[in-house]
Amino acid sequence: MSLKLAIKKTLTHFHFTFCSAQIMPPVNEMMMFKLCEVFSESIPMAVIQLKNVLEVGGDVDWIVVGAFLVSIMFVAEAVSYMTYMKDISEESRSTGKIFYGFMPLSGHRMHVVKISLLCMSFSCCTAKSLEIVVLLQVGGPFLAAQVLGADLGIYLIYKFARNDFRYWIPLPRGTSLIASFALRVMVKIVTDFTGFLHARHPFEMGGFYWFINMIMTQVGVFGALMVKQEFGWREGEGEVVVLPEEERVLKDEDYLKLAVLNFALWLISMAGLYIASEKKFNHTFYSLVTGKQFCRKLFETDQAMTIMEIFNCHRR
């Protein structure tokens, strides 16, 4: 009996090291569903609405401004709630003890972490949207696509170089690489726009790249503003009608004030997050561990619940 168990354990160890696969618990299903909404609706809407709000003339429709704020708040709330639920869920804390647990479960620190998460997502969404809008104003969709594409390309090269590209979800044969590509792109874009804290998981971006990505998001706004200062607005074409500066509610110099305020909010929220979260999980904010290394570490914790999870849920 013990020999059978040892063989099973060895085989599972091999499987766990070389192929990552899991069932979809309710928390993950909820997260994927919200991610879809944030990725394909809330983020594009936030960018389009911010562009229109920044370029609006004298008569402002406040419902449209409200709709923009609703979009950003929806993004911030959805992402911080996903991170919170995933971190405190029974399943995560019983089978993923080496990663989940940064969120204090009671007291002032819990509230500080929750508010910091909200502010961080709000700040990231505003920063990235502002960066894209400024790039659209300077060079149109082509320039914005180039910058986003280059950023995405660097991330995918990083994943390939670390042999960490293939996604952890079990998928039908022949679809794994395409689905991995789509899911990696999706998580990257969502993290760019929301600072999605769960993306620091080794199965997603990993702590180190998540942290660099956060800095790049904030730096990107000031970079775009510098480019705008250098090259100015592009000429209007087709439906693009640029109002003269004096007719716009928000002037060009207000962009910098907005970016600085937003950066201050981001710094405060990051400090709050780092100070108030559980100290023994601070390394997850900058860890270099890959998905496969994480799987191995998880298995080596030798906890009954984790091993049962592997026996029950990992099929390949």
Partner 1 sequence: MFRSSFIKNAQHEFFKPLLLAVGKELNTTATWHKLALSVGVSLASMIDVASDVYTISYYHRIGKHATANLMTAFVLLCIFLQMMLVVAIHHKNRRRMVLELLGTITFTKPAFNKFRVLTNASIDGHEVSE
Binding stretches for partner 1 (CB under 8 A): 21, 23-27, 29-30, 32-34, 36-37, 39-42, 44-45, 48-49, 52, 61, 63-64, 66-67, 70-71, 74, 77, 85, 89-90, 169-172, 238-239, 315
Distance, CA of 56 to CA of 250 (rounded, Å): 8
Q: Running DSSP on this structure, what letter comes out for residue 191?
A: H
Say which amino acid occupies 45: M
Residue given tokens 């496969």 in the structure block:
292
In the bound state with partner 1, the residue whose beta carbon lies nearer, of 168 and 209, is 168
Token pair belonging to 110:
């819990």
Minimum distance between the CB of residue 91 and partner 1, rounded to whole angstroms?
Answer: 8
Q: Running DSSP on this structure, what letter comes out for residue 242?
A: P
- How distant, in Å, are the alpha carbons of 218, 231, 255, 268 from that of 261? 11, 24, 10, 11
Minimum distance between the CB of residue 34 and partner 1, rounded to whole angstroms?
Answer: 8
Distance, CA of 176 to CA of 180 (rounded, Å): 6
Residues in the chain: 316
Minimum distance between the CB of residue 70 and partner 1, rounded to whole angstroms?
Answer: 5
In the bound state with partner 1, the residue whose beta carbon lies nearer, of 85 and 216, is 85
Provide the CA 64 distance to its chain's centre, in angstroms. 26
Minimum distance between the CB of residue 202 and partner 1, rounded to whole angstroms?
Answer: 20
Minimum distance between the CB of residue 287 and partner 1, rounded to whole angstroms?
Answer: 26
